[in-house]
Amino acid sequence: MTTATSAFTLSPEHTSEMHELYKHLHATPELSMQETRTAAFIREKLDELGLETFTCGGTGVVGILRNGDGPVVGYRADTDGLPIQEDTGLEYASTATGRLPDGSEVPVMHGCGHDTHITVGLTTARLLTENRDTWAGTAVFIFQPGEETGAGAKAMVEDGLWDKAPKPAIIYGQHVWPGLSGTVNVSKGTAMAMANSWKVTVHGKQSHGSQPEQSIDPIVMAAHMVVRIQTIVSREVHPMKSAVVTIGTFHAGLKENIIPASAEFTLNIRTFDPEVRDLVLSSLRRIINAEAAASGAPEPTIEEITSFPQCYNDPSSANDLLAVFGDELGHDAVFETPPVMGSEDFGLLAEAIGVPSVYWFFGGHSQEDLDSDTPPAGNHSPFFAPEIEPTLTTGVRAAVVAMLSKLGIAA
Ligand code: ZN
Ligand code: ZN
């Protein structure tokens, strides 16, 4: 089958090589900020195409495709896997393992589909290279590590990404999601939520369970924090705005008749509006400190675990893309979509140089699967298995036409 894009053609050879690439990447995932072999593999492929390459931010790779005078356009693909035991039963399923920062060995899976992103990014670089007589300008391909931990974009920017690579006029990126394969979804304005995670350690005073007067009970204190924190969204955030505050872990004590010295909980917040984020974070701090003061306890320790920036699509560029995608994929395959509560560190790459960016989603499942009684597993599931086609081809077509829409026409 030959899949035509309005600009280039994916030949059967391209397609079968793309599938091989995908299966190889799927079988060899690595954990966030440890994507050493993945980075070497990507760089080798980019070098073969003749791109200028360099590593950045540890395991990030950048490929620069210079093709005469014209606009600079960026495209980003994230590269990390997740600590998940793959259970898809696919013949190319991962059996890889890795080590978490605490040293524990865990199974690793491309459970978020970043293998599709690398494959699409490399294939797009190949098509732009092979068809360089049709366009002009510079394409910058950013293969970013550590998206899942929110560390990768930051690491690349701090390592001088934009001192080493030409600054794009716009940066694009996309994510596979449990939508219909062959379709894409684009948001105008906010695309994804900001996310902040904290670890809170509440310091009490240990005593025998029969002598509570000797203690400052950290469990009672932390329990009050957990309850009062629920009032931030219900009583402090404007009813027309949205926020999520989730306390995902709570640990304290080892035995029923010992009041422990401390309690620990972790929380995650999601917001769309920077003002709401600032309000929620400052309210959290106020409540946590005030509940500790109410118990006569020292100030709790608050540590940031992760922080994901805003993922904001420049509305006019997103509008342009809706038309570009419609012409390429068919207008019944392109949807404008409201923001999603997931988070991404993609936005940081463009924010660092004050240029617009657009991030969209491409579907990974057949209509039959989506209609079945057990709908397909979503991202981060051990069963997450997007179908290869038309998923990959759609991702490539979207990436190619997005980039061409801003690159120059060959003289
Ligand atoms: Zn993910
Ligand atoms: Zn992801």
- Ligand 1 geometric centre to CA of 344 (Å): 8
User: Are 393 and 69 a contacting pair, CB within 8 Å?
Assistant: no
Any alpha helices (H) in 270-378, and if so which ranges?
274-294, 315-329, 347-351, 367-371
- Ligand 1 geometric centre to CA of 56 (Å): 21
What is the distance between the alpha carbons of residues 148 and 128, in angstroms, rounded to a whole number?
28
- Ligand 1 geometric centre to CA of 383 (Å): 14
Is 147 marked active-site?
yes
**Per-residue model confidence (pLDDT) at position 3:** 42
- Ligand 1 geometric centre to CA of 112 (Å): 4
- Ligand 2 geometric centre to CA of 112 (Å): 5
Give tens-digit pLDDT for 203-215.
999 999 999 999 9
Of all ligands present, the nearest one to the C-alpha of 149 is 1
Q: In this structure, what DSSP letter does residue 333 have?
A: G
Question: What CA–CA distances, in Å, run from 365 to 14, 28, 119, 138?
Answer: 22, 22, 17, 33
Q: Which residue is associated with the tokens 């790779």?
A: 61
**Per-residue model confidence (pLDDT) at position 149:** 94
Of all ligands present, the nearest one to the C-alpha of 82 is 1
Give tens-digit pLDDT for 248-287.
999 999 999 999 999 999 999 999 999 999 999 999 999 9
Residues 6+ apart with CB under 8 A from 186: 313, 318, 321, 322, 325, 334, 335, 336, 337, 358, 360, 361
Q: Which of 30, 35, 86, 147 is catalytic?
A: 147
User: Are 134 and 17 a contacting pair, CB within 8 Å?
Assistant: no
What are the tokens at 220?
A: 């009672």
Residues 6+ apart with CB under 8 A from 263: 201, 202, 204, 218, 219, 221, 222, 250, 251, 252, 253
Closest to 184 (Cα-Cα) out of 367, 341, 18, 332: 332
Of all ligands present, the nearest one to the C-alpha of 148 is 1
**Per-residue model confidence (pLDDT) at position 1:** 33
Domains 6-187+337-409 and 194-307 share a fold: no
CA angle, corner 198, sides to 193 and 201, nearest 5? 160
194-203 vs 301-308, strand pairing mode: antiparallel
Per-domain boundaries in the chain: 6-187+337-409, 194-307
Per-residue pLDDT of the chain (411 residues; tens, 9 = 90+): 334 455 678 999 999 999 999 999 999 999 999 999 999 999 999 999 999 999 999 999 999 999 999 999 999 999 999 999 999 999 999 999 999 999 999 999 999 999 999 999 999 999 999 999 999 999 999 999 999 999 999 999 999 999 999 999 999 999 999 999 999 999 999 999 999 999 999 999 999 999 999 999 999 999 999 999 999 999 999 999 999 999 999 999 999 999 999 999 999 999 999 999 999 999 999 999 999 999 999 999 999 999 999 999 999 999 999 999 999 999 999 999 999 989 999 999 999 999 999 999 999 999 999 999 999 999 999 999 999 999 999 999 999 999 999 998 887
Does CATH place domain 194-307 in 2.40.10.480?
A: no
Q: Is residue 101 exposed (0-12), middle (13-18) or buried (19+ Cβ within 10 Å)?
A: exposed
Of all ligands present, the nearest one to the C-alpha of 116 is 2
- Ligand 2 geometric centre to CA of 361 (Å): 11
pTM: 0.91
- Ligand 1 geometric centre to CA of 224 (Å): 32
User: Are 191 and 308 a contacting pair, CB within 8 Å?
Assistant: no
Write down the CATH number for the domain with range 6-187+337-409. 3.40.630.10
- Ligand 1 geometric centre to CA of 88 (Å): 17
Q: Which of 30, 35, 78, 80 is catalytic?
A: 80
Of all ligands present, the nearest one to the C-alpha of 77 is 2
